[in-house]
Structure formats: structure tokens, C-alpha cells
Amino acid sequence: MHRIFFTHKSVLLLSAVAFIIILVNCSSDSPTKTSDTGKIQGKIYNAENGTAIGKALVVTKPPTSAVTTDTLGAYEIENVETGRYHVTALKAGYDSAGVNISVSAGNTTIADISLLQDTSSAYYSILTQ
């Protein structure tokens, strides 16, 4: 059987390497870092009667992600970088509309949008006949 002997220098070197590895793993890039993103949420509703508009498409410019409203007209876009955006809602049978907003880190920005029915479209004509 072979015996391994560690010199004082090799023990110090191994200790230094272990310390550096621990130090690197505890750097400021850990999950406790503060967020630099925010959230956009709101409701899309009929401008004439206030009813919720479900399945409306909500997009931002500059682009973040596109989402669809739920049956209550609510939507949420998470992890949006800070900055200024134009949020637009689109739904067949309605004129598109939008609002300008500013997203700040760690906060939720509300962007409610009302849509008017598009009375000039063929879609509206079919619905009202």
C-alpha cells in the first residue's frame, strides 16, 4: 500500500483553491440580485358598455411578448425590461387601440385599454343582421 504525504505547501495551495471556489460561488450574481424588470397588466374592455373583451391580443412596441386576455379581459406580461412602451389591444370586430406606458424595475404598470366596435367592418355587419 502506498502512502500519500502532503507537504505544508500543498495543503496551503489546496486551501487557497477551495477558498477561491467558495468566493466565486458567493459572488454578487447570486439569486438575491435585485430585479431589473417589471410587469404590465391590465384589462381590455368595450368602450361603449364596459364589458370585458376576452381573447383579445395584447402586444407591445418595442416587442416583449404577445398575450391573450382571459374571459374577464385581464392580461399580464411579466419580465418586461424597464423603459417606455406602447401597449396595443386587437380583437376582430373592434378598432385597435393602445396606451403609452413606462415600466420600472420591480413594479407593476397598469395598462387598461378600451376598444370601440368597428361598425364599418363586414364582421360587424354579419353580427348585427
Domain ranges within the chain, ordered by starting residue: 37-128
**How buried is 41 (Cβ within 10 angstroms: 0-12 exposed, 13-18 middle, 19+ buried)?**
middle
Give mean pLDDT, residues 38-59: 98
Residue among 129, 126, 116, 100 nearest 53 (CA):
116
111/45 Cα distance (integer angstroms): 12
71/110 Cα distance (integer angstroms): 18
Q: Are 109 and 102 in contact (CB under 8 A)?
A: yes
Rounded to two decimals, what is the model's pTM?
Answer: 0.68
Predicted pLDDT of residue 24: 46
CATH topology of domain 37-128: Immunoglobulin-like (2.60.40)
Length of the chain: 129
Query: pLDDT, tens digit, for every residue of 79-120?
Result: 999 999 999 999 999 999 999 999 999 999 999 999 999 977
